[in-house]
Amino acid sequence: MKKLKKLITYAVKGIVFLSFLIFHNIKGQTKIYFEDEYNRLKQCVQSDIPSALKQIDRLILDARNSGEKKFIVKGLYLKSFAYLLKGEPDSCFENAQQSLDLAEEIHYKEGQALAYRMLGTQYAKMETFDLAMQNFDRGLNILDKMNSQESYEVKGLILNSKLIALGDDKEVNVMKEKLNVSLQVIRAFRHIKNPELRDNQMVSAYTNVGYNYADLGNTDSANLYFKRALSLVKPDNYYLQAAVNHDIGYLHLKNRNYPEAIAYLKKALNILPDHEGFVNKKIEVLKNLSQAYSESGDQSDFIIYSGELKKLTDISNKKIFTAWKNSCRIKISQFNTRMPKFLFIQASLFFIAGNDSAYRFLSLQIKTE
């Protein structure tokens, strides 16, 4: 009888242990699935935004159903990234904020930094560089002293976006600072052990270093990094393919080699899909392509491409203004509870006036908090 009890006890323990192993194996496999999907969609969003948005929604839904809150955070971040590339600042802000709120709720530091990166990048695209830098600094401060693979990747992404907030000032010290930041990006990404993930991130890092060397007039170093970027970029990653070709075209434009500049810039423009997407990149390419035609004396093509540039810029500016109005509305309602009455009235009047005074005022208030 005692032997039977022992056997039953061992059997129960064995079943419990086996159940434990099965549970953790399933949980591990689930996490691997979500990580693989997240990494795949990071590429997809740079190739086909409409398709990526649908797939990201499915990822978020699956993560909710599985209780994988970290991947809800990552999904919302990816969604905000898609809207950034699409030129939809309102939707970018909305999803990035949701990502930040959930990341804070579950104490997911890398997720918080990701969200701050996207908020900062959208502000930088809107040329509100002070707010952009505030968000970048918050993200970098969160990652300070962290040394996980993910933290290095996110740090590199934030530094990459920080280059936008440093502006287009051609003063030598600013250009040297941008080069220094872009080299820091490479050092951060080198800590990523997954070779495919590391190579995917290195494309933008290399082309940014090349661009900054081009600004400083170092053609040989610029070409070296552009070649490295081209060797790694995937054929179906339209955004990065266009970015690298644009940057090579920019180098030729700086050197007044107009036929080569025009060839690369047109190639960049043709790579980008015709559907409504990648608006900011199209504007950047059209700006330099128009300049190349103007400086080369081709007025007919200058008129064509500068016309396309104006059309896209007008659409983008309207969306930016709408996003600012919505942002101002939220900020004003928040300030109403903690600012002196005369300041609230002043901000409200600026907002009603519908000009940039409102968000300049609010930027100043945010800066002093």
pLDDT at 317: 81
DSSP state of 191: T
Within this chain, domains 127-233 and 234-297 share the same CATH topology? no
How is residue 268 written in tokens? 């960049």
End-to-end CA distance of the chain: 75
Whole-model pTM: value is 0.80
> Do 242 and 272 touch, CB atoms closer than 8 A?
yes
pLDDT at 361: 41
For 1-107, give the CATH class: mainly alpha
pLDDT at 9: 62
pLDDT at 314: 86
Helices of type H across the chain = 2-44, 49-66, 69-86, 89-105, 109-125, 129-143, 149-165, 172-189, 195-215, 219-232, 238-254, 258-271, 279-295, 299-335, 341-353, 357-368
pLDDT at 11: 56
pLDDT at 323: 74
Please report how many Cα atoms fall inside a 13 Å half-sphere around the Cα of residue 91, on the Cβ side: 13
pLDDT at 279: 87
How is residue 340 written in tokens? 């002196």
pLDDT at 26: 46
pLDDT at 339: 46
317: exposed, middle or buried (C-beta count within 10 Å: 0-12, 13-18, 19+)? exposed
Please determine, looking at this structure, whether the domain spanning 127-233 carries the CATH number 1.25.40: yes
pLDDT at 56: 96
pLDDT in tens for each of the 369 residues of the chain? 556 565 566 555 555 544 444 444 444 556 678 999 999 999 999 989 999 999 999 999 999 999 999 999 999 999 999 999 999 999 999 999 999 999 999 999 999 999 999 999 999 999 899 999 999 999 999 999 899 999 999 999 999 999 999 988 888 999 999 999 999 999 999 999 999 989 999 999 999 999 999 999 999 999 999 999 999 999 989 999 999 999 999 999 999 999 999 999 999 999 987 656 788 899 999 999 999 999 999 999 999 999 999 998 888 888 877 776 676 655 545 444 444 544 444 444 444 444 444 444 444 444 434
Q: Residue written as tokens 């266009």? A: 242
CATH number of the 234-297 domain: 1.20.58
Closest by CA to 135, choosing from 358, 366, 293, is 366
pLDDT at 3: 60
pLDDT at 338: 44
pLDDT at 364: 44
User: Distances from the Cα of 248 to the Cαs of 67, 207, 229, in angstroms?
Assistant: 45, 9, 11
Closest by CA to 311, choosing from 343, 279, 288, is 279
Segments making up each domain of the chain, as ranges = 1-107, 127-233, 234-297, 309-369
SS3 at position 190? coil
